[in-house]
Amino acid sequence: MTGTTRELWRVPEASVDASCIGERAAELVERLQAIVAEFRDVRFASSMAAEDMVVIDAIVTARLGITIFTLDTGRLHDETVQMTARTEAHYGVDIHRVRPQSQDVASFVDQYGVNGFYDSELAKKACCHVRKVVPLNQALHGADAWLTGQRRQQAVTRTELDLREHDSERGMTKFNPIHDWTDAQVWAYLQHRQVPIHPLHDRGYPSIGCEPCTRAIRADEEIRAGRWWWLQQENKECGLHIK
């Protein structure tokens, strides 16, 4: 490297031994089994990023009756679209694609422009609402509980995450089954169990969202620094997870 060029974030090498990962994997399955035993209709929203692939692997290998879906916002990286198909082929499962309403997208574009989310926090929230929040609400309609891949180490807004939360916005229970996992445990799990990994992770993206709103980060930046990088740095949320 020369000048001010800094190295991009890299996928960590597995630094947790297999026995520890085996214990964490068993604990994760126990958590998921308890959720399925308590709730009739459980659904998992996945972005196909590292954390979500851990949860998918546990759901499928334990043969749990949890519906898996993904929010196809219309602005995803091609790699994410391909990753969804690759995951389906790898595990032999169907992943439901949930898309925004065309009239909602058209209304946003009329008011803000195609890429108007770059202009203000208000416009960014409006775009996320149309492309992510409304589709999520539709995807969860009729469900009893839903799962996320959120972890405490991901952001300052998530440091107090619990396993179980009440989603007052949607009137249901939400679970974060790997809320207490470390970065090292996530990557060791994926590597030890040979779980498919999103190709953007190998290009400096630890966190993956819509293409125009996500960038690769440097090794010395926070994990979610590449999300909505042109806006304030203390809140890297889109509105899916409301406190």
Q: What are the catalytic residues?
A: 238
Residue 163 carries which side chain, given as an amino acid letter?
A: L
Q: CA 92 to CA 98: how far, in whole Å? A: 19
Residue 207 and residue 202: Cα distance in Å, rounded?
11
Contact 69, 95 (CB under 8 A): yes
Residue 56: CB partners within 8 Å, gap ≥ 6? 44, 46, 68, 87, 91
- Determine which helix (DSSP H) or strand (DSSP E) holds 96, and give its type and residue range: strand 96-98
- CA torsion sign, 243 to 149 to 131 to 142? negative
Burial of 86 (0-12, 13-18, 19+ CB in 10 A): middle
CA dist 146 and 41 (Å) reads 8
Distance between CA atoms of 80 and 100, rounded to whole angstroms? 17
Lookup: tokens for 137: 């609400």
